[in-house]
Structure 1
Amino acid sequence: MPRKILSMGRKLFRLSRKDKEIKLAKRELEDYDALHAPILMAAKHKQNIDYSTQQQHLHLAAITIQASFRRHLARRARRALRSLVKLQALVRGVVVRRQARIALQCMQALARLQITVRARQLHLLL
């Protein structure tokens, strides 16, 4: 992936992936602080929260609920997938055992045929 090149006067430098992640984390932290500052201030001073702050609080609550529900769905899908994998392993085990049984029967049939042929050869020689 090409790196982003920034120009600062005459100097050119590249942002590494780590620098980008740090910059993004700082930006997210600033956004979080800006979003929660009125709520924290109102709680600290025990004042009434204005309408826009209440909307922000409801928005955060909705995000939390959605994240919880998505986590629940992901866990349920993972559990179903895990049971499917176990079922596949069981079926593959049955198939492998059947193949082994058939191979063993074929080898036994070939051994019996070999014994019969050698007995006839020996009988013809005597």
Structure 2
Amino acid sequence: MVFELVKNSLRAVQECFMNSDKNAPPVRIIVADGIEDVTIKISDEGGGIPRSGLPKIFTYLYSTAKNPLEENDEGSSDGVIMVGYGYGLPISRLYARYFGGDLQIISMEGYVYKSQVLQS
């Protein structure tokens, strides 16, 4: 679950700053170990998710990334494609709920800041 969230944050930041002369900001991870639960907060400045896309992010097969099959047709088959299938967030939330936690996505489009919280 944490791998999926960090991967999404890193991809968002990389895509947001790819054609910029500015250095990409860091992805921040905070782990809070409480008496009753553990919360992991992952924050980035990757541009956010448009409000129209937020209801879809936990829908299977929905992705903001390019289709991995189309990407492969462009001749770049050097590595393993790990984005674009639309299973990462829905399955991560399913796992979190199975173990008694939850996954929340808070996005501020335009502010270039996104926070993902995994709590159990």
Tell me, yes or no, whether TM beats 0.5.
no
**Whose strand proportion is higher, 1 or 2?**
2
Higher radius of gyration, 1 or 2: 1
Q: Between the two structures, name the one with larger relative contact order (CA 8 Å, sep ≥ 6).
A: 2
**Whose helix proportion is higher, 1 or 2?**
1
